[in-house]
């Protein structure tokens, strides 16, 4: 029998050490290094199943001019939002990792995708029983005849079932529950996650069968396990949103087969996740009367134009130090915009509390939202409502200039489609578009905006 070998791993970043120490040299975290038992497998015991007629990849070197660059056929998931984020569908032989908060809907999303697929699908669950999955499937799509459910955590048993079933796609929920006989540490440990992922990658690449994994995340929002896990897989998806809101956002943090700028939006319902094809109408609240402190921004999430509502509240500070609070927006950028308003436009906001909120529970990083934030703050400070058919798309500089933003014509068309009458943009934007139903208001500095809306 082979000698039992132990080593020490950092549970935060996966760094390996020969002996225990208090602090990890790589990620500087304290008390995260634990001892794990590892056992190197015998070479003759290594066996990962492949589909019988699968074409293995050649190891022969080829000239770059001889390589066939024709686009590989993708598997349609019949979910437009999921396809959009992946870049058009699932690539055969790829490994996709989906992470997200507990209870956000990761299992529901992938079970819903599995039930829509017309291909033979194997859904492997290490967290729920077959009856629990059946109860959820009854609410989503009870008439699927191509989805097989397997409750198993041992990779050797999973591969045996894969060999018998020969599925077209494999979904694993979750990678942290799997364990391999080749490693003697417990499921969820660094070495087990690396070993199980390696076996799944070997299977996916040799059989050209796509594998989708669900991954848990830590309290810091990172996928649990070693960082190398995200390097090993082809695509890393993040499923996010506030559990108190019904909207969920799917975005790609890494994608070897497409753009990472795309975004999918879902609405959580009792019957599963509903695809939201036009998120702008949902992110803008419907009001019977005009209220101060509300402004609409034309932003972009990846390649997708969105109209979002910015809400601001300016009130007299009760305590000596004014509060600055932002939800869904960078708080440091809010402080910068307040300083610009005070210096360039003469508004004394230093003794006032300022609260900012992006509706819908989403987070926006697009600098084009700056002008809408300023407009909402001015509206709340003066307690005068902006016209509900106004929208904004421009960046604000430190000297108070209104800076141009990219793809402004796409933003203008989205605003026109949703019925806005006026859009405020930088006069330095090169606009060749001549829309009929919307007025393009060009401004060059913050004082121009104050004169037009206050």
CB 247 within 8 A of CB 240: no
The DSSP annotation for 129-180 comes to -HHHHHHHHHHH-TT-SSEEEEE--BHHHHHHHHHHH--SEEEEE-GGG-B-
**Residue that the structure tokens 């930088």 belong to:** 426
Rounded to whole angstroms, the Cα distance separating 405 from 392 reads 11
Nearest to 173 by CA among 226, 233, 216: 216
Strand-pair partners of 356: 312, 326
Is 107 among the annotated ligand-binding positions? yes
Strand-pair category, 5-10 with 402-403: unpaired
Is 328 among the annotated ligand-binding positions? no
Nearest to 221 by CA among 102, 301, 395, 305: 102
* H helix runs in 209-312, sequence order: 228-232, 279-283
Q: How far is CA 87 from CA 21, 125, 232, 247, 263, in A?
A: 44, 26, 19, 21, 10
Query: Packing angle between helix 446-453 and helix 370-382, nearest 10 degrees?
Result: 40
Number of residues in the chain: 454
CB 266 within 8 A of CB 244: no
Is 195 among the annotated ligand-binding positions? no
Is 367 among the annotated ligand-binding positions? no
Is 100 among the annotated ligand-binding positions? yes
Is 205 among the annotated ligand-binding positions? no
Q: How far is CA 103 from CA 106, 327, 345, 444, in A?
A: 8, 21, 46, 46
Strand-pair category, 147-151 with 121-125: parallel
Q: Give ∠ CA 215-221-223 in degrees, rounded to 5.
A: 30
Rounded to whole angstroms, the Cα distance separating 178 from 150 reads 13
CB 347 within 8 A of CB 311: no
Is 361 among the annotated ligand-binding positions? no
447: enclosing H helix or E strand: helix 446-453
Structure tokens at 304: 């997708």
273: enclosing H helix or E strand: strand 272-275
Is 188 among the annotated ligand-binding positions? no
Binding residues: 100-107
Binding residues for ATP: 100-107
């Amino acid at each position: 029998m082979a000698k039992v070998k132990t080593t020490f791993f950092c549970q935060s970043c996966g760094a390996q050490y020969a002996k225990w120490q208090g602090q990890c040299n790589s990620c500087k975290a304290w008390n995260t290094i634990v001892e794990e038992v590892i056992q190197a497998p015998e070479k003759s015991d290594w066996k990962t199943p492949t589909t019988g007629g699968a074409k293995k990849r050649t190891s022969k070197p080829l000239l770059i001019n001889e390589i066939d660059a024709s686009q590989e056929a993708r598997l349609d998931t019949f979910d437009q939002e999921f396809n959009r984020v992946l870049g058009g569908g699932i690539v055969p032989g790829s490994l996709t990792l989906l992470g997200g908060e507990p209870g956000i809907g990761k299992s529901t999303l992938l079970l819903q995708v599995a039930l829509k697929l017309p291909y033979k699908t194997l859904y492997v669950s290490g967290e729920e029983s077959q009856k629990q999955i059946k109860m959820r499937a009854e609410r989503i799509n009870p008439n699927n005849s191509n989805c097989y459910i397997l409750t198993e955590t041992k990779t050797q048993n999973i591969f045996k079932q894969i060999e018998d079933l020969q599925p077209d796609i494999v979904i694993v929920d979750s990678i942290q529950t799997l364990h391999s006989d080749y490693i003697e540490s417990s499921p969820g440990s660094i070495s087990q996650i690396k070993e199980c992922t390696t076996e799944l990658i070997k299977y996916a690449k040799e059989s050209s069968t796509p594998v989708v994994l669900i991954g848990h995340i830590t309290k810091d929002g990172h996928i649990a396990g070693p960082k190398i896990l995200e390097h090993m897989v082809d695509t890393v998806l993040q499923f996010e949103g506030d559990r108190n809101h019904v909207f969920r956002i799917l975005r790609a943090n890494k994608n070897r087969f497409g753009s990472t700028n795309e975004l999918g939006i879902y609405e959580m319902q009792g019957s599963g996740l509903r695809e939201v094809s036009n998120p702008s109408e949902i992110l803008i609240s419907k009001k019977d009367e005009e209220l101060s402190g509300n402004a609409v921004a034309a932003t972009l999430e990846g390649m997708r134009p969105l109209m979002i509502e910015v809400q601001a509240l300016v009130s007299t500070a009760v305590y000596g130090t004014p509060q600055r609070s932002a939800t869904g927006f960078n708080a440091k950028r809010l402080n910068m915009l307040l300083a610009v308003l005070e210096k360039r436009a003469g508004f004394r906001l230093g003794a006032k509390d300022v609260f900012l909120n992006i509706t819908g529970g989403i987070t926006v990083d697009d600098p084009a939202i700056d002008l809408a934030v300023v407009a909402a703050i001015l509206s709340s400070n003066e307690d005068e409502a902006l016209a509900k058919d106004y929208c904004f798309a421009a960046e604000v500089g430190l000297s108070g200039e209104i800076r141009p933003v990219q793809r402004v014509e796409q933003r203008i068309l989205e605003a026109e489609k949703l019925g806005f009458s006026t859009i405020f943009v930088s006069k330095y934007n090169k606009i060749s578009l001549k829309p009929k139903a919307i007025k393009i208001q060009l401004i060059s500095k913050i004082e121009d905006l104050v004169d037009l809306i206050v």
